[in-house]
Structure 1
């Protein structure tokens, strides 16, 4: 296990380096900005008196008598308190008091990492109290926003503190467990990134250390506790409180987010009944909004400012009249608007998975989801997702089904659903399903994927499987076809296949197997 964990951490080094370099560069941001707004660095007593390092940016015209809307920005996982200074100055120039603070357990703030737990939520309320007492902030117009970790804390705070009237969650999560443990499968590379960054830039609590250890080991006796720990830190758990409080919630994410995939954010969005908006773009975790942290033009931050301008300042900018679900295809084009997430998935076609196919486990067939961060960034900037050759996939280790060629271009929008019957030769196992866009020569580009792990099954006894693949927006060219591939090993995930095990996929006459794809002609 020790060697395994060290290998995982080595995998995460590149991502950690990106975070640290970004933090270092961002630390220089104040000297590169115009001195329009006043910045001061302060210490704030958080929950239990824990010192939180913070900075406050106020409008340059603040005269001590006028009150301004307040925006609170908790930092991202592993980032220093200067992370948001470029955007904070812009917001202050627009008439906001902006307070950014380093969350507990990281950098110079005190305490230990709580992983968006009760102490982090309490800290957010203490920060608001401090801002109302020490800045020209207006208690009736309070918003919160953040990237990644700061996004999750912001939504959780809005659920627990009714003073928060608007939230912008950028690359946040709806369900923490469904993010890194979907299909009862550990997302190893994603967890390794979080673990390593937390170790390098912060101080992990005994509880969080124990959680990561249990997660890596796959100890089923601790699964119930792990799920309970994650649910306490998931905004979806508090959707009813969010609705009662009435905060306007904006969720923005990326199709290829390998830390917090889009499915669980869409599920949270569907639970919300108040003012809401959801945006998905190409990219990986936080890559869509990262340029904005350097002060570069960025549509994610532009929409965030528009959201706050309307719901905190009352500006009639039309954001409330636009289609609330906005998507950009991974293969190019502008924004598409939809009235809700259900409409995105409305048009479906089924690809039949006929026959009976048996595959052996423990070997990577060559179909996989890529490398955390790197693969989705390549997809974002060069439209180069993970690829494989369908004709060359070894059928001993991969089950393959293909559609007919499409005469016209097709649009995949939403979430593909796999339904099949599995017969294992062992009581535990892992499989990974992939949906591919296959070109004329058999070269296939990844459209979406998802893992699934089972335990306590009776060997030789079939069971039904329903699995959501990763939500996406992808355009399939004319003359191409779709393929579903299933194998048992992927570097992104922990596998639970005993040596020599096999899986059989069948399609009973009374319960045929299929993959349902949200597909429509372009």
Structure 2
């Protein structure tokens, strides 16, 4: 990656980091000011190897008897006061709530372990401390968190059978499938994490080495990166998590540019205990953000209901609701499904006929937008990234379109691309986009996904199957869908040699298509 490109990524990441830190600072002021009269206790806890973890404890007014315990590890780059507003609400409902700053960030000791073995061991030490020093019921222990805290909570539940319920908010099930899906580096997402970690924490030598290898596109480091990510992925410990039997709630956003919904849905399907899956519009951690300020918030309301049922035993009906709960990017209501497979059970194939050759190394004008900004605009104003489909230069973009739909169509789930690719070089990257195209040809982005290949014989065709990022989007009557494929997107690292070309064909014995999960309104 060239130095100017890296500097641009750093600038993008610094903007996102600044927003994170501003939010963290605001959260640190208002709840802390309230804490003087709110029964908040600030404590030091010895984590793995004696590392000091800064924490706060909020207990119910009736501290004479035992209460269910909820432990909240902080998000990446956030201080220990992050959850104080929610901690106070939960304490008022009868929970002992302990929030701690994960190692390597802010005033906690140690170096950033990126949800590694030290972080998992820290969670166990925090539970030990809470059960020994607060009026907590050891039979009813829960963990929850946003983003980094969500992943640590799932990993802890897989390793510690004391944890009876988990709420993972904007977390991950598979770290590699999050930032390296399609064997392609999600470089803007990684740059945000890297920069925030540098500004707010102390990076370990291991994490610096892994991020450096990630940016460098050095294939000799790929196995190291994958092994590092697998060690930090809850899906790796799925059998242990299922054996422990924790009730798991997963909540995320359709436009999450750090932990996309596909990997969470796949993880959810493999859980065997009590479970719930929720997706809403937005980007990483934006759906639950207002709840951190103590404002009404659907994600946090469902989190409390989840704990009320599985830790308090309240018959609040959450176990009888449809366990998969979705909100479309186009409408305001919620939809319920019995499982993830039912979401996209109805499909339509759009044929990708003919043979099309595109040149690489140039952004055609179709892209996934900017990390955080684009999906937040989609969440707040229903303004996803757009492209003028008729004007996309066919030298650098392959384009296919469906017919116009007479009635509104609901896209729910995962669109799947199947095609045959013939490269002129042994390596390359392509990015597929699904657009909702209006009468004037303006396309609104519905979904996208990158794909990188290595080691192929130049001039020899190979089959390609690619899942686009899952979504819920309504296509208005009179519109059509378009599939666009090009080779450059600012969200991802490209691996196209200069002057390379890609040909997409549809052999008679293996036709090309995009399968879209459509259902008529």
Q: CA deviation at 1:81?
A: 0.1
Q: Is the 8 A contact 2:32 2:81 kept in 1?
A: no
TM-score where L is the length of structure 2: 0.99
Aligned counterparts of 1:10 and 1:376: Cα–Cα separation in 2: 19
Structure 1 stretches of 4+ moved >6 Å: none
Shift of 1:347: 0.3
CA drift of 1:38 comes to: 1.5
Q: Which runs of 5+ in 1 are unaligned?
A: none
- 36-45 vs 288-297, which deviates more? 36-45
Shift of 1:32: 5.5
TM superposition shift of 1:280: 0.1
The answer on whether the counterparts of 1:29 and 1:85 sit within 8 Å (CA) in structure 2 is no
The alpha-carbon deviation at position 506 of structure 1 amounts to 0.2
1:23 & 1:226 partners in 2: Cα distance?
30
Deviations 1:386-414 (A, max 9, x none): 00101100000000000000000000000
Equivalent residues in 2 for 1:57-76, closer than 5 Å: 57-63=58-64, 66-76=65-75
Kindly indicate whether the alpha-carbon contact (under 8 Å) linking 1:159 and 1:245 is maintained by their aligned counterparts in 2.
yes
Say if 1:117 and 1:232, in contact at 8 Å, map to a contact too. Answer: yes
Asked whether the 8 Å contact 1:36–1:60 carries over to 2, the reply is no
Segments of structure 2 that go 5 or more residues without pairing to the other structure are none
Corresponding residue number in structure 1 for 2:256 = 257
| Worse-matched range after superposition: 281-290 or 4-13 | 4-13
Aligned position for 1:285: 284
Seen in structure 2, the aligned counterparts of structure 1 residues 36 and 406 have a Cα distance that, compared at 3 Å, is farther
Does residue 1:21 correspond to 2:33, yes or no?
no
- Match of residue 400 from structure 1: 399
Residue 8 of structure 2 corresponds to residue 11 of structure 1: no
1:228-281 deviation per Cα after TM superposition (whole angstroms, max 9, x unaligned): 110110011111111100000000000000000000000100110000000000
- Residue 454 of structure 2 corresponds to 455
Cα offsets for 1:311-358 (capped at 9, x unmatched): 000010000000000000000131100000000010000000000000
Measured after TM superposition, the shift of residue 4 of structure 1 is: 3.7
Q: Which residue number corresponds to residue 175 of structure 2?
A: 176
In the aligned structure 1, how far is the partner of 2:66 from the partner of 2:424? 68
Counterpart Cα distance in 2 of 1:3 and 1:489: 16
Deviation at 1:39, TM superposition (A): 0.5
**Which secondary structure state, in structure 1, belongs to the residue aligned with residue 15 of structure 2?**
helix
In the TM superposition, 1:117-516 aligns within 5 A as 117-516=116-515
SS in 2 for 1:28: helix
Q: Deviations over 1:114-168 (max 9, x none)?
A: 0000000000000000000110011100000000000000000000000000000
Distance 2:6 2:399 in 1: 32
Are the counterparts in 2 of residues 143 and 312 from structure 1 also a CA contact under 8 Å? yes
Distance in structure 2 (CA, Å) of the matches to 1:38 and 1:32: 12
Superposition deviation, residue 7 in structure 1 = 2.4
The answer to whether the 8 A contact 1:114-1:120 is kept is yes
Query: What is the distance in 1 between the residues matched to 2:55 and 2:35?
Result: 20
Q: State the alpha-carbon separation in 1 of the partners of residues 417 and 6 from structure 2.
A: 32
Q: Are the structure 2 counterparts of residues 126 and 202 from structure 1 closer, same or farther at C-alpha, using a change threshold of 3 Å?
A: same
Which residue does the alignment assign to 1:39? 40
- What TM-score comes out, normalization by structure 1 length? 0.99
**Partner SS for 1:166:** strand
Question: Within 1, Cα distance between the matches of 2:500 and 2:410?
Answer: 37
Distance in 2 of aligned mates of 1:28 and 1:407: 53
1:43-68 deviations in whole A, cap 9, x for unaligned? 000000000000000011212xx111
Query: What is the alpha-carbon distance in structure 2 between the residues aligned to residue 269 and residue 324 of structure 1?
Result: 10
Residue 37 of structure 1: CA displacement? 4.5
* Matched residue SS, 1:313: coil
